[in-house]
Amino acid sequence: MDDLIRIDGSHGEGGGQVLRTSLSLSAITGRAVEIANIRGGRAKPGLQAQHLAAVRAAARICGASCKGDALGSLYLLFEPKHPVRSGDYRFEIGTAGATTLVAQTLIVPLALAGGSSTVVIDGGTHNPMAPTADYLRHVYASALREMGFRFEADYGPPGFYPRGGGELKVRIEPASEIAPIVLTDRIAPNLRAHIVTSCLPESVSERAEKVFADELQIHASSRVVGGTSPGAAVTIVGNHCGFSSLGERGKRMEKVAGEAIEDARKWILGKASVDEHLADQLVLPALFARGESRWSTPSVTEHLRTVIWVAKHFLDFEAHIDEETGFVSLSPC
């Protein structure tokens, strides 16, 4: 394995993004990758359920053999055996782990595979340390659509911590010519809110709707469901931005909505063209664009630096981050 890529999983943000980016690029390029010190920067290092689900999902789409694919493992050897194949796939995390992060590991590889795919993932749809399903559906999908990637996402039922039990469904169409994304100027955010509650009275979502109308003067759509996973979440979405907050026992819905509104107001006062989370999520698709992509972020995060660092192990490209202005540029070689 002279072409083996070796990655230190504790580098930079030292979390799951090192793993997921490595898996995506290994599947796309066909290059084997060895990752040591997986999630070495976290209090509980090693592969957790959602990370293991991402490993096995990525392995399935490219026939990869794996060593170290076990809960708690600090080491993984991932060797693709064939190019990524489009198709219908179903994966189960088994916990309330983030279905959206597993999906983001697969979307770009499957879009480049030349055929249509459907991916269904069981687990958590609204997690505190991951993009919500509403963010994936309305922010990430919209941004990638501007580049020529086409996918649609929806969920039902939702899955909240600790029970999970949610279902995320993603339909991915083949991408042909990938255009660079150029977002040098802020455009009107066009904010709107999405509320989801499960196993809670309808009045809970109505209270959140009132907060959004009174405090931010925006429309809110509500999804009120039953099921087995009690919980609540709000996600404010707009052009290249999204802000989420999750409910928890004893936390009033007015506070849940207020937290997302506070983040949205900070965004409105700024000048960046994308939110800080989308800023690092754009790196992977931009690697396959025909030309230079440019965007700006309100905060240069360790996640952004890390995803570029990982990608440099797999592909040749030029990237520049202006730490003062937050401008990012990326040009495939």
- Specify whether 303 is catalytic: yes
Angle of helix 16-29 relative to helix 99-111, nearest 10 degrees, comes to 20
For 138-154, what is each residue's pLDDT tens digit? 999 999 999 999 999 99
Q: What is the pLDDT of residue 2?
A: 57
Q: What is the pLDDT of residue 186?
A: 87
Q: Which amino acid is residue 44, in one-letter code?
A: K
Name the pTM for this structure: 0.97
User: Tens digit of pLDDT per residue, the chain (333 long)?
Assistant: 458 999 999 999 999 999 999 999 999 999 999 999 999 989 899 999 999 999 999 999 999 999 999 999 999 999 999 999 999 999 999 999 999 999 999 999 999 999 999 999 999 999 998 999 999 999 999 999 999 999 999 999 999 999 999 999 999 999 988 999 999 888 888 999 999 999 999 999 999 999 999 999 999 999 999 878 899 999 999 999 999 999 999 999 999 999 999 999 999 999 999 999 999 999 999 999 999 999 999 999 999 999 999 999 999 999 999 999 999 999 998
> One of 82, 277, 303, 320 is an active-site residue; which one?
303
Q: What is the pLDDT of residue 189?
A: 86
Sign of the alpha-carbon dihedral angle for 8, 14, 15, 17: negative
